[in-house]
Amino acid sequence: MLNRRMFFLLLISVAFLISCAGTKNVGGGLWGMLGGGKGVSALANSFSANLQKNAVASKALGAAGIESARHGLYNTIAKAGGYGIEKGSDLASVLKGMNLDAAAVNGVGESLNAAMADQKLRPEQEKAVTELWKPINKQLAK
């Protein structure tokens, strides 16, 4: 089952990578800057690992929420590039439904920053990821 899921994820990633050639907006550009599906997956996996390490975020999200956030980050980058995703599966939708307090939202942001550091993103990559996070952070802070 897991191998089948990995195969389909790889297949979808390759399709996204091929379709993003020449995309000029931030998300599509970020998709390419991160190395396509492989790089976006690496960032999302690191994000998940850092959410697990962050006591406040981990407690607020739980294991299922962390997994949803991992998928949500991946989908947010894809969605920003103009790719179709399942309704409600981007990071904003995932986190909005969890009624997070300010400390938990801060923990999610810290986890994303740690993931960017872990992946040794270049400044332009970090800026693009941060630009995707800002409106989500603002929406959750309300």
What tens digit of pLDDT does each residue of 11-65 get?
565 555 555 444 434 456 888 889 888 999 999 999 999 999 999 999 999 999 9
**CB-based contact 138:92 (threshold 8 Å):** no
State the pLDDT confidence band at 141, using cuts at 50, 70 and 90: confident
Q: Please tell me the pTM assigned to this model.
A: 0.79
CB neighbour list of residue 18: distance below 8 Å, 6 or more residues apart:
none
Closest CA to 45 of 64, 30, 67, 61: 67
Q: Name residue 70's amino acid.
A: R
Give the burial class of 130: count Cβ atoms within 10 A of its Cβ; 0-12 exposed, 13-18 middle, 19 or more buried: middle
CA distance 16 to 135: 24
* Boundaries of every domain in the chain: 2-141
